Amino acid sequence: MALRDFDAEAGNVLVLTTLRGRTRTGWGAPRGPNSGPGRRSSRTAAAPTSGSPPTTTICNSISRCRTAAHFIDAHARDLPTVAEIAAAAGVSVRSLSGGFARYLGTSVRSYLVEQRLQGVYRELRSGVESVTATAHAWGYVNLGVFAASYRRRFGENPSQTLARARS
């Protein structure tokens, strides 16, 4: 578990890492006689003071990943960035990426692409007006790339899905 604290006097970020009961300082931390590798640090990570950067939360629980996944499910059509998804889940981009890899076995971007393709598939199955309008509504600009992704995912062209829904 890593905690970050901003040392306003020295202008450095102190990173304390607790591993197997030992506390170690990380990059940018002022070095003292008791802060070397394998030694206990005399400094502790205090709550951030005013003007300090916020403490980052590590995505080590599935609930943060679940929150991000629900956000993606609800906003896939709006084309959220990974940074927006991480902000909605209350974690950093790096933590979110690690959590998705650990708990879902995929990347955030791959999950977003899958949800967008599923959304297009659902709309095509409902018999919408055109493949082009549906693809554009879900944020696909290059229809050739969209059709290739769709074919790779569902094993048929988008127009075949639409034709089957109309019959």
pLDDT digits (tens, 9 = 90+) for 35-88: 444 544 444 344 444 554 444 444 457 888 899 999 999 999 999 999 999 999
d(CA 120, CA 114): 10
d(CA 161, CA 120): 10
Q: Give the whole-number percent of the chain exceeding pLDDT 90.
A: 52
Contact 8, 2 (CB under 8 A): no
Burial label for 121, CB within 10 Å (0-12, 13-18, 19+), is middle
Q: Give the whole-number percent of the chain exceeding pLDDT 70.
A: 64
- 147 pLDDT exceeds 70? yes
pLDDT at res. 60: 54
d(CA 49, CA 53): 9
pLDDT tens-digit series, residues 7-25: 344 444 333 333 344 444 4
Q: Which residues contact 161 (CB under 8 A, 6 or more apart)?
A: 121, 124, 125, 154
